[in-house]
A and B are shown apart, each in its own frame.
Chain A
Amino acid sequence: MPEYTLYTLVAVVVVVAIELLWARTGIFATAQYWIALGIVFFFQVLVDGWLTRLVDPIVLYSPQHFLGVRFPFDIPIEDFGFGFALVTLVIVCWQVAGRRERRA
């Protein structure tokens, strides 16, 4: 498996495990999280599409390190796992920090 693909899968699994086994904020059971994630993905397509476009790109991906599937536009599909892991980890930490704040 290409390395970027592997790293992305590991990141997704680790973030989901952090939520389910440690943080337990319950966000996966809320419409708030899934609707927000949908909106984030929509805008990711625009921003990431701009960054990864094949004509005069800003970020250039080495072909041997990802699956080679680019969708939509020229976005390597691994980027969506990357985005999921980043945004989900941040929301989990935001909820945990909020919990502490309320307790204080």
Chain B
Amino acid sequence: MRFEYLLLMAACLAVTLPLEFWLRARVYRRPLRLLLAIVPALVVFYVWDAVAIARGHWTYSPAHTTGWLLPGAVPVEEVVFFIVIPICGLLTYEGVGTVLHRRAVRKPAEEGPSPLLPGPPKRKGTVPFHSGADQKGTVPFRSGEGR
């Protein structure tokens, strides 16, 4: 099936999509930041792929790929891979971040400010649990993040 590789990538996007909403990953909703995050890796790994293909490190099954090639004989599926997998990784990373934030917010008195997370400034004392009400449901810790 010529579209097998592409369908596998579509499945990856479908499986991780709920993280954007369910765990408020906010990856797709920060398109400029997403672009800045994936372009450097896309360029580096595209070159790596082209070199590996030229030197015979790996080949692609004509039965499972479209055969559409980009410069350097890189299959279009590989570029899709270098976009999809980073998106899945970021959704996972931000989803985990949300879960850790929720835990930190839920038990502030016992655990104090969470040492688990990078970025946002640490606040002294407890985090008022209900203070998210006036922020349309966002977790207080994340309020400093770009949106």
Give the interface of A toward B (CB within 8 A). 3-4, 7, 11, 25-27, 29-33, 35-36, 39-40, 43, 47, 50-51, 56-62, 65-66, 83, 86-87, 89-91, 93-102, 104
Contacts and interface: CB of A to CB of B under 8 A. Distances in A.
Given A27-B118, A50-B8, A59-B60, 20 more contacts: A32-B93, A32-B96, A32-B100, A36-B89, A36-B96, A40-B89, A43-B12, A56-B64, A58-B4, A59-B61, A61-B58, A65-B57, A86-B89, A90-B38, A91-B89, A93-B37, A97-B36, A98-B145, A101-B30, A101-B32
A72 to B, nearest CB: 18
B79 interface: no
Q: Is the interface of A mostly helix, strand, loop or mixed?
A: helix
19 contacts: A3-B57, A7-B52, A30-B116, A32-B93, A33-B93, A59-B61, A62-B56, A65-B56, A86-B45, A89-B40, A90-B41, A90-B89, A91-B90, A93-B37, A93-B38, A96-B36, A98-B146, A100-B36, A102-B144
B96 A93 contact: no
Interface residues of B, number: 47
A39 B60 CA distance: 27
